[in-house]
Copies of this chain bind each other. A is one copy, B any other.
Amino acid sequence: MRNLQSCATFIRSMNDSRPIGVFDSGIGGLTVVKAVRELLPNENIFYLGDTARVPYGGKSPATVERYSREMIEMLVAEDVKAIVIACNSASAVALPKIEGDLRIPIVGVIQPGAQAAIAATRNRHVGVIGTRATIKSGAYERAIHALDSDIDITARSCPLLVPLIEEGWLNDEITDRVIARYLEPLVRQGIDTLVLGCTHYPLLVDAISRFLQGKVTLVDSAKNCAKAVEQLLDGESIRNPKGSGKLQVALTDTPEGFLDVAREALQLEIGQVELREVLHGAPSL
């Protein structure tokens, strides 16, 4: 019996077509999906966006953790082989409390972003921007200082950036002014590297680059998260070596206009979007 199980595990590890489960508070995590698809085109992806309760970024740690556990339960029910928390707020607040309870491998966006920031900085002064929940959690500071305690960090929450992106004002003088207001103090304090600590922010990379004029290196948490997913699949020997991966998108509430903004800006092939009800109750994780 044990031999049979080992054999099944071995065969699966040779060709594991089960999907990677990606969850986000809303639709912003599709930037991570985009990066994963580019790096790992064979992989099937099941994306779950909690649009019924979006955003997580202004909510308390206890609430973000409860919501995250519910989303992960729904992904586990889809028989995913690995879980990606493509949401900085949930990665910051919930991942450290949840990862020990899970049997399948899980990765967030904070750790990969922290590693990439340390690799990028020259003057050892890193800026971090994100939602209120992410910044207040201090998760990037902890992750960066755990790797290198001598890095200076200047963090700032930028709560208007997500609504500006969802309005579709990606290249707009109002957005430029808001970015200048948020980033000018960080630049003045001498950062040479900036972590985009929210999965929406890659959609503003042009506008942010316009303001920074090449003086600051941008660290895109989506791209670095995709690299971490690749390492995780290799480490567990659960890559899908062939075929062209499919993307399935499910949301907890019907999508609004922002799905179109994301679809267009990311050039992602998103088919029929499913609607899933949140399953409340004591999580069995």
Point out residues on A near B: beta carbons under 8 Å.
Answer: 51-54, 58-60, 62-63, 132, 159-160, 162-164, 166-167, 173-174, 177-178, 181, 253-254, 256-257, 280
Q: Which of A58, A174, A253 has the most CB of B within 10 A?
A: A58
Q: Write out the residue numbers on chain B whose beta carbons fall within 8 Å of the beta carbon of A58.
A: 54, 166, 256
Choose from B51, B159, B162, B174 the contact partner of A59 (Cβ within 8 Å). B51
- Copies per complex? 2
3 residue pairs, one from A and one from B, having the closest CB atoms: A60-B254, A163-B163, A280-B280
Chain B residue with Cβ nearest A252: B63
Chain B residue with Cβ nearest A169: B160
New A-B pairs, 7, CB < 8 Å, besides A51-B59, A54-B58, A159-B167:
A58-B166, A60-B253, A159-B166, A160-B163, A162-B163, A173-B177, A174-B177
Chain B residue with Cβ nearest A166: B159
> Separation in Å of the A268 CB from the closest CB of chain B?
20
Q: Write out the residue numbers on chain B whose beta carbons fall within 8 Å of the beta carbon of A167.
A: 159-160
Choose from B53, B178, B256 the contact partner of A53 (Cβ within 8 Å). B53
**Contacts A174-B174, A177-B174 hold; do A59 and B160 have CB atoms under 8 A apart?**
no
Choose from B54, B164, B280 the contact partner of A160 (Cβ within 8 Å). B164
Q: Which of A132, A160, A166 has the most CB of B within 10 A?
A: A160
Q: Write out the residue numbers on chain B whose beta carbons fall within 8 Å of the beta carbon of A280.
A: 280
Q: Write out the residue numbers on chain B whose beta carbons fall within 8 Å of the beta carbon of A163.
A: 159-160, 162-163
Q: Write out the residue numbers on chain B whose beta carbons fall within 8 Å of the beta carbon of A60.
A: 253-254
Q: Determine if A59 and B52 form an interchain contact, defined as CB atoms under 8 angstroms apart.
A: yes
Chain B residue with Cβ nearest A57: B256
Q: Write out the residue numbers on chain B whose beta carbons fall within 8 Å of the beta carbon of A178.
A: 174
Cα–Cα distance between A280 and B254 once the two chains are bound (Å): 20
Choose from B132, B160, B181 the contact partner of A256 (Cβ within 8 Å). B132
Chain B residue with Cβ nearest A132: B256
Q: Write out the residue numbers on chain B whose beta carbons fall within 8 Å of the beta carbon of A162.
A: 163
Cα–Cα distance between A124 and B60 once the two chains are bound (Å): 46
